[in-house]
Amino acid sequence: MEDSLLEFQVLDAVQGNDGSLTQRDISQKIGCSASSVNYALRLLAVKGFIKIAGSNPRRLRYYLTPRGVVEKSVLAYNFLKRQHALYAEARKGLLDKLQALRGEGVRRVAVYGWTPLTEACLLYLVSERIKVTAVYLENTAGLTHCNRIPFKTLDQFKGDVDVLVLMEPLPESYEDKVAVRRVVGVPGV
């Protein structure tokens, strides 16, 4: 089976239920077609990760084997390892772009969006003594500031900065309204 995500999802669904889920239940739970789940269950059974019990095809029961528990853990570990590598690559790309700002003599920036990389962005900018005027978000409900940097909504943007750093894409309704000398998007934005 080439789709390790599907494998993981099926193994997880089977492990979480003591043989009480049907193929249809599993397919609804993981948001995949019943035929894909059927194929995955049969292949996982051939590999020895799942045991199929019952004589009535409409009432088959699925159980995770000890090998299946190990395989599920291996799939989860490999997924996390890949995600960590992607995060590290995106963080490096972000820091490269921010270092270029420092080299250009940029002194005042604003940041739009909150992602897992926004905090790293703010820490780098502050450490390089680049003034961050605000973090702009679509909704600031319950938020006031982060490290003395105020949170503001996009309609409060004044354009009084050298660069707007986009941590996520601007909403289409603001693309023409946000006027600034330069916009820098992080990798993937």
The domains of the chain, with CATH numbers, are 4-64 (1.10.10.10), 87-185 (3.40.50.720)
The letter for the amino acid at 53 is: A
Helices (H), the chain: 4-15, 23-30, 34-47, 66-103, 118-127
Instruction: Identify the burial level of 65 via C-beta atoms within 10 angstroms of its C-beta, where 0-12 means exposed, 13-18 middle and 19 or more buried.
Output: middle
Give residue 188's pLDDT.
60
Distance CA 97, CA 93 (A): 6
Give residue 1's pLDDT.
43
Distance CA 120, CA 91 (A): 8
- Which of 111, 107, 115 lies closest to 131, judged by CA? 107
- Please give the torsion angle defined by the CA atoms of residues 35, 40, 46 and 50, in that order, rounded to the nearest 10 degrees: -110
Give rounded-to-5 percent helix, strand, coil for the chain.
50, 20, 35
- Number of DSSP helices (H) and strands (E) in the chain, helices first: 5, 8
Instruction: Identify the burial level of 118 via C-beta atoms within 10 angstroms of its C-beta, where 0-12 means exposed, 13-18 middle and 19 or more buried.
Output: buried
Distance CA 143, CA 70 (A): 42
Q: pTM of the entire structure?
A: 0.62
Bridge partners (DSSP) listed for residue 62: 52
Positions of the chain with pLDDT under 70: 1-2, 144-145, 147, 175-189
What are the angstrom distances between the C-alpha of 105 and each of 52, 109, 162? 65, 11, 10
